[in-house]
Amino acid sequence: GLQAVIFDVDGTLADTERDGHRLAFNAAFAEAGLPWQWDVALYGQLLAVTGGKERIRYYAERFDPLTARRPDFSDLVLALHQRKTRIYTELVAAGRIPLRPGVRRLLEALRAEGLRLAIATTTTPDNVQALLEANLGPAGPAWFEVIGAGDVVASKKPAPDIYLWVLERLGLTPADCLAVEDSENGLRSSLDAGIATLVTVNDYTRHQAFTGAVAVVSDFGEPGRPLQVLSGHAQG
Ligand code: XBP
Ligand code: MG
């Protein structure tokens, strides 16, 4: 039977991208004197590339190849990303990024059932820590027995590596777990690790195809505003 639920973070636990990560990238670019600014629509396209350093690199190679060919480009990417992480964690600590509807209630209910919780994300560990502390309190990170994040694996989502890393540390097989994801890249990662996956959507992902998901839901609902099941198939 089910023993653990493994959560993605960005887009799943909270809508972090548009008013969190995106703003932090833009602020870091502006501080560095770069003319790069990612609007909401462009950022939606750039989300196809998971990982902030990878996303900066991809953008520069396409839209500012002169900068991308600078000999110090790799150092620039690292410096920009470090600054972006600081700006993002400050935004989160200031309370600017709440959890999505029903997330807190769901986490509490799973804990009350005795289920084990874990995280599998491409984002930087500091970002996860900041989000959980800001929204669940100082003990929030400890609700999750294993937190797999960022560069602990070489290949980020859609590769299955981060889920396999988390499974190994939980000491569980895929059949013992359920994954919760919000994006096609995330779903590919969890399904390729062999884990049944529930999808919850947001403005950046609701148009995506979620073939293979156990079900697709709008969110986790709040009292008086139940979740909508957008697609799902009966499973035993
Ligand atoms: C999240 C990401 C991350 C964040 C930025 O994807 O792609 O890159 O946008 O985080 P997922 P960092 O929800 O599939 O894990 O800048 O810390 O990499
Ligand atoms: Mg996500």
> Which CATH architecture describes the domain 4-15+98-232?
3-Layer(aba) Sandwich (3.40)
Mind listing the pLDDT tens digit for each residue in 24-75?
999 999 999 999 999 999 999 999 999 999 999 999 999 999 999 999 999 9
The residues of the chain that CATH labels 3.40.50.1000 are: 4-15+98-232
Q: Name the CA dihedral angle for 96, 100, 104, 105, rounded to a multiple of 10 degrees.
A: 150
Ligand 1 and 116: CB distance under 6 A: no
Asked if 99 and 105 count as a contact pair (C-beta separation under 8 A), the reply is no
Split at pLDDT 50, 70, 90, the class of 133 is very high
Q: What is the pLDDT of residue 236?
A: 35
The residues of the chain that CATH labels 1.10.150.240 are: 17-93
ipTM comes to: 0.93
Ligand 1 and 16: CB distance under 6 A: no
Please state the pTM of the whole predicted model. 0.96
The answer to whether residue 8 is catalytic is yes
Domain 17-93 has CATH 1.10.150.240: yes
